[in-house]
Amino acid sequence: MIAKKERGKMERRLSAALTHACEQAKPLLPGFCWLTHEVDYQRFPESLVVTWVFDTHPNLANALKGDARRYIADLTAEALAEAGLDVGDASRHLDFDSEEACEREHGGDWQRRLRTKPTRH
């Protein structure tokens, strides 16, 4: 758990570090669009989930094969370390999705989609 007054600082550090990871990944991962994070500060850092979003399911499936998945986990681990977080195995904090699936299942409403995803931790 993190103290309430520290949450804003942590959010800024996380956002900056994950934005940097996102920009590094865009030119190297075909179909990668953006990423976001969700966290329940009552269960921090265990509850942290970083969702990597691709344009289509085929591009997402390709990214989850082989070296790309390890690259994503490594980039995420570097970003979390840059934000001052030690979460152990960063791959436990990863989720993946696609714009295509959000459009089909939630009419493109990402807030609703992320809110209704099952809790991972």
Q: What is the pLDDT of residue 121?
A: 38
Architecture of domain 4-116: 2-Layer Sandwich (3.30)
Domain locations along the chain: 4-116
pLDDT (tens digit per residue) in 27-81: 999 999 999 999 988 888 889 999 999 999 999 999 998 789 999 999 999 999 9
Burial class (CB in 10 A: 0-12, 13-18, 19+), 32: buried
Half-sphere exposure of 50 (CA within 13 A, CB side): 28
pTM over 0.85: yes
